[in-house]
Structure 1
Amino acid sequence: MGGHLLPAGGDVLLNSTGTGTIGRSSVFDGHGKFIVDSHVTLLRPQNKKIDPRWLNELLRNPRFQRHLEANCYTGSTNQLELSRSQLMKSAVPTPTHEEQVIIASALRALDTQIQKTEALIAKLEKVKEGLLHDLLTRGIDENGRLRPSPEQAPEFYKESPLGLIPISWGVVRVDELAENHDGQRVPLKKSERKNGIYPYYGASGIIDWVEDYLFDGHYVLLGEDGENVVSRNLPLAFAVSGKFWVNNHAHIYSARDDSDPRFLVEVLEQKDYSRWVNGSAQPKITQASLRMMWFCKPLLDEQVAISNRLEGISQRISREKVAVAKKKTKKSGLMDDLLTGRVRVTPLLDQAQATTPA
């Protein structure tokens, strides 16, 4: 293995090549023998002078990333290379080793909070996915509990075009769940849109703001065409309220009196449209195809109960996403302040020294 770089604990590894990956860094904490290849720059901090975790945070700082991009990258857009000689010429504000440790610890604490919150969001989304399947196949009984499964209580279910469903449920076409308003849609070219306060919706959400509106009320939009009809990377069905305009790339529905709009969103979103999609270059779900599909329809009270249960966990997920976004914003601002010296950590350092046993 002669001639190869062998990383040691506390080394900082900096990705040196590739669009989208160049500039990424991490602290090497591994044990055993490893080899660093030519696509990675190994930085070994000077003992007792540079804290590796502080150095890693410095490299990840957006301000330093912009410096790397402007001064240390060479080559074409598709094959960028890090100039190690230019990197070593980079001058950065360097606090004392004690301050570096405090800065790194503060930023790492925020990282830990962010990671825990993101893990909680992932867990809640898995719970919602399972709950959604159960609620849309088993529903909620008169006592507010999830019905036993067909295997546990077959007497509660009946055969239908959708398979086994609760006895009290109906199986209907979309027109029995909602009224279609596609005939009122008016697409606007970019040149025809005048900037205003009303959202202009397309297949996957708001694409512009305009000075007038076509609809006013509570509606459900379902993407009609485009790549997302197949990939489902974004929600295909979503609720829209208030005054808005919609183009001809989204079907528009309003729930009927015996349908809950939130339930309508869920049954439209969970539907598998793969066998109904027309076209390859521009995949499309036509209104005619939608009218041929079957959908489950519990009684209104049960629709409301199902929607309330799903809304509760959705709101929890939304709150956690807001919390993690705030933490990331806080970390970004704190990182820039601490790593540039605009905010000193002297009070924290004094506190740490005061609590350290003699």
Structure 2
Amino acid sequence: MPRRESCSSIWRGWGMSEWTTIAELADTNPGSLPANTDRGFRFRYIDLGSVDDGAIDWQRVQYISYKDAPSRARRVCITGDALFGTVRPNLQSHGYVPGGHIDPLVASTGFTVIRAHEDVADGRYIFFSLLSENILRQSVNAAVGSNYPAVTDRDVRQFRLFAPPVEQQSKIADVLASLDTQIQKTEALIAKLEKVKEGLLQDLLTRGIDENGQLRPSPEQAPELYKDSPLGLIPISWEIRNLDQIADVVDPQPDHRTPPAVEDGVPYVGIGDFDSEGAIDTASCRKVSFSAYEKQKSSFSVTPGDIIYGKIGTLGRPKKLPNGTYALSANVVLIQPSSYKALLFYALNSSRTEKQILDITNTTSQPALGIEKVRKLLFPIPELGEAEEISIRLEKLSDCIQREASRLISLNLIKQGLMDDLLTGRVRVTPLLDQAQATTPA
């Protein structure tokens, strides 16, 4: 068929001629299950819920037979296909089918299946382009509907993208896929470290560390080392204390009135205003007047390492406060430890504290914590030396997780920058790779 002649002709020179439509590079929805499909035919079904932000969650792609499949299970997929989620395209529920799948794959009609013409396009390159700001902007502009804005298959075919020769597309896809691999490995490592931390937190805050620097044997192994308490078994040398015995608990907005928002003011910080690195996201914070900040400052002062704790709406989820100029939301309490500062932060994150919160809030119709309830929360407290050792071990692991989280942010920023450059032709991939090769030691 002559369909590729117009596509090849646009590559005779550089510049805007390299911008073309998806229809010039690929077939869309090239295969569908016919109505007479054997009712016992089994396949893996990719629905919209199994794809999120450019990734197919293959654990959610279930096996199903044709007779039990929803009517939307019709689009046949093969290795190398890109899937464009047509419903709410701003969510970018797009995916890519990599190699290694033996079983038949069928996608929902909520996707447009895009199959690259191999001589002019790389399927991976098309997939990365679907996640670009360029395609996002076009899809949002083309979407129709208020509750469920959607684009049509025809819209998708007409989306325009930068399309250098296929050899360059493949190199660009290699670069971005390599970054994706690093991102996925870092995400997996963070998830693993979080699991380790969860287990360590449970052990250290229930068993502690003995005089030899080892985790104390469990109550099952050495019941003589433990005693009963309102929180269950704790080491014999530990004590149970109320929060207000080891910290000042302050209501930052005792009148419970949220100050009016202003356009250019002081950040008004709540639990949801922290980024993944634990810093206050001042750009997205609600802003209040400087006089509202001064009013709080006249009642209390914040020291770095003080803690806020959600009391209305979002309950718990303690956050450490940094240096800076900001006011505190009426939806939090301020906890200022007089001792055991590091340990208390982790104890506030523990399952024992979460259980106390659940016991309190289960008796109310709306989840909320009065400040007196917060002050009377119970905590198991070791002797000072043991508490410091527990804190050191938890801090080391937390620092490790934080370093990986920072690396993940950096990798995502690098990927976004490369996508902006390479998928628009702003930077050519060949000189970029030549430069990298020239600077790599032999």
The Cα shift of 1:325 comes to 0.5
Q: Distance in 1 between matches of 2:365 and 2:349?
A: 23
Q: Is the 8 A contact 1:17 1:80 kept in 2?
A: yes
* Structure 2 unmatched runs, 5+: 1-32, 36-73, 274-279, 437-442
Structure 1 residues 217 and 35: CA distance shift in structure 2, 3 A: closer
Q: Distance in 1 between matches of 2:248 and 2:373?
A: 15
Say which SS state the counterpart of residue 81 (structure 1) adopts. Answer: coil
Structure 1 residues 116 and 247: CA distance shift in structure 2, 3 A: closer
1:102 aligns with 2:171: yes
Pick from 249, 257, 273 the counterpart of residue 331 of structure 2: 249
**Root-mean-square deviation (Å):** 3.0
Equivalent position of 1:334 in the other structure: 418
The one-letter code sitting in structure 1 at the alignment partner of 2:349 is E
The Cα shift of 1:278 comes to 7.1
The structure whose RCO (Cα within 8 Å, separation 6+) is larger is: 1
Equivalent position of 1:2 in the other structure: 34
The one-letter code sitting in structure 2 at the alignment partner of 1:25 is G
Structure 1 residues 202 and 46: CA distance shift in structure 2, 3 A: closer
Equivalent position of 2:104 in the other structure: 33
Moved more, 321-330 or 5-14: 5-14
The one-letter code sitting in structure 1 at the alignment partner of 2:139 is L
Structure 1 residues 48 and 178: CA distance shift in structure 2, 3 A: same
The Cα shift of 1:279 comes to 7.0
Structure 1 residues 62 and 137: CA distance shift in structure 2, 3 A: same
* Structure 1 unmatched runs, 5+: 353-358
CA offsets 1:290-343 (integer angstroms, 9 cap, x no match):
354432111122221111111111111111111001100100110121111111
Q: Distance in 2 between matches of 1:188 and 1:96?
A: 61
Q: Superposition pairs for residues 1-358 of structure 1, below 5 Å?
A: 1-2=33-34, 5-18=75-88, 24-27=94-97, 29=99, 30-71=101-142, 73-74=143-144, 76-182=145-251, 189-191=258-260, 195=264, 200-202=268-270, 207-208=285-286, 211=290, 212=294, 213=297, 214-218=300-304, 219-226=306-313, 228-229=314-315, 235=317, 237-242=318-323, 245-256=327-338, 259-270=339-350, 271=353, 272=355, 273-277=357-361, 280=364, 282-347=366-431
Structure 1 residues 82 and 297: CA distance shift in structure 2, 3 A: same
Taking every aligned residue pair, what percent have the same amino acid on both sides? 37
Q: Distance in 1 between matches of 2:198 and 2:240?
A: 22
Q: Distance in 1 between matches of 2:106 and 2:240?
A: 62
Structure 1 residues 318 and 21: CA distance shift in structure 2, 3 A: same
TM-score by length of 2: 0.69
Q: Is the 8 A contact 2:82 2:95 kept in 1?
A: yes
The Cα shift of 1:142 comes to 2.5
Q: Distance in 2 between matches of 1:349 and 1:195?
A: 45
Q: Distance in 2 between matches of 1:94 and 1:19?
A: 22
Structure 1 residues 277 and 204: CA distance shift in structure 2, 3 A: farther
TM-score by length of 1: 0.84
Say which SS state the counterpart of residue 217 (structure 1) adopts. Answer: coil
Q: Is the 8 A contact 1:15 1:40 kept in 2?
A: yes
CA offsets 1:112-137 (integer angstroms, 9 cap, x no match):
00000000000000000000000100
CA offsets 1:39-97 (integer angstroms, 9 cap, x no match):
221222112211111111111112211112213x33x1323332222332333221111
